[in-house]
Structure 1
Amino acid sequence: MADHTTSGSTNDVLVPLIDVLLVVLCFVLWAGVTHVKMPLKTAAPQESSAVARPLVRIEMQPRGFWTWNGRPLRDEELRGRLQEQNLQGKSPTLVLIPSDELTLLEVSQRFNSLEVLAGDRLQLQLPSQPLKS
Structure 2
Amino acid sequence: MSRLWTPDGAVRARAAGIVFSPGPATTPDGPYTVADPTALVDKLAQGCWVIYPHEWSIEDGEDQHWRSRLSRLCLTRSWDILIQVQKRMSLTVAFSTALVPPVDQLTLSVSAVTAYREKDLPIPTEHEFLTRRSPG
User: Would you say same fold, with TM above 0.5?
Assistant: no
Higher-Rg member (1/2): 1
Task: Name the structure, 1 or 2, with higher relative contact order (CA <8 Å, separation 6+).
Answer: 2
Return the structure number with greater helix share: 1
Please state which band the TM-score falls in when normalised by the shorter chain: 0.3 to 0.5
